[in-house]
Amino acid sequence: LKPAAHALFKKLKDEELELLVQAVESQGAWESGCVWAPRGDVRGAKQGLPPQVLLCRLFRWPDVHQPHELKHLCYCAGRWGVGGDLAAFCCNPHHFSRLAVPETPPPPYSKASCGPSWPDEPQHPGTQFLEFSYKGGDWCGKRLCFPLPDTSLSRSTIKDGCWCKLAYWEHRTRVGRLYAVHEASVNVFCELPWGSGFCLAQLPAAHRSRAVRRARGKIGRGLLLSREPGGIWAYNRSEHPIFVSSPTLSPPGACGLTVLKVLPGYSAKVFDYEQVGGKGSWRLPGEGPCDPHSIRISFAKGWGPCYSRQFITSCPCWLEVLLNQLH
């Protein structure tokens, strides 16, 4: 790849090379700018790789071969070109993710039981939480005060213009209050050197088990949740897998639960607006009905028919995404 890389670097302007160095050295720890490459013959004669594939192979995934294996992240302006100009496009390797595909599941550990397992109501539902950002070595935060949410989490109660609300759970206990999301994307994280969003590290908890503390230590940069045309995407920014379920991830007519494993650096479309149309309540085996406009995401620990944990309430740390139907 060396000759092809040198040929590409010669085509880039000095400021583009500086942005590329910053993105590679930070390993995507913060949202870097676009690296604009001119369209045309900027690929190596032997490799024949498009610039974005070439740089992703060099700096992120050596086994990437084709552009269709990659997806632009929501904050990349290169999805549309420079001001609509198709003469250049972004090749920043940290502006791309790989596309997650369902894996062949191993044999199930055990059958799902029929006992109820829906999470209990939080013991302290009035607890506030904080939104923090970390920039230039300093923490800055502001206290966010929301009205006490309806514990039924009914969609009819969402009237404040947000497209979703986030609930963070530890086993069966919800920690903190609902986090309303108004922007097109939101970071959910414990540690993020540069950025803002839903910081789980700032949520109060009186007593955490060893399993919860161990799982929280694996969240790190967490995930990027984005509302894009047609549905909701999740990008795994952490160094450990996340596990996702929603009513639109299961094949039509399926009665079982589908849990998608999303590896670090991968993205997955976790909710499809078209597929959810006309669905009634989402009934999970052993858990009863759930909101059909919701997504459940577990950090580091899987659950479902193929795991020893049958229900997400057995996972130490997980996220509930409650979508507004008025998308």
Model's pTM, two decimal places? 0.78
* 29-75 pLDDT, tens digit each: 877 889 998 876 544 444 578 999 999 999 999 999 999 999 999 98
Task: Round to whole Å and give the CA distance between 202 and 121.
Answer: 21
Q: For residue 154, what are the contacts with CB-CB under 8 A and spacing of at least 6?
A: none
Buried b / exposed e along 103-117 (16+ C-beta atoms within 10 A): eeeeeeeeebeeeeb
**For the ranges 67-81, 270-284, 293-307, which has the lowest average pLDDT?**
270-284
105, two tokens: 């599941």
> Is it the case that residue 114 has pLDDT exceeding 50?
no
Q: Any bridge partners for residue 170, and if so which?
A: 173
- Strand 266-272 and strand 96-99: the pairing is parallel
Give the mean pLDDT of 118-137: 34
Specify the pLDDT at position 252. Answer: 65
Domains of the chain, each with CATH number or no CATH: 1-99 (3.90.520.10), 164-278+288-323 (2.60.200.10)
Specify the pLDDT at position 44. Answer: 45
**For the ranges 13-17, 26-30, 37-41, 88-92, which has the lowest average pLDDT?**
37-41
Percent residues over pLDDT 90 in the chain: 48
Task: Round to whole Å and give the CA distance between 40 and 37.
Answer: 9
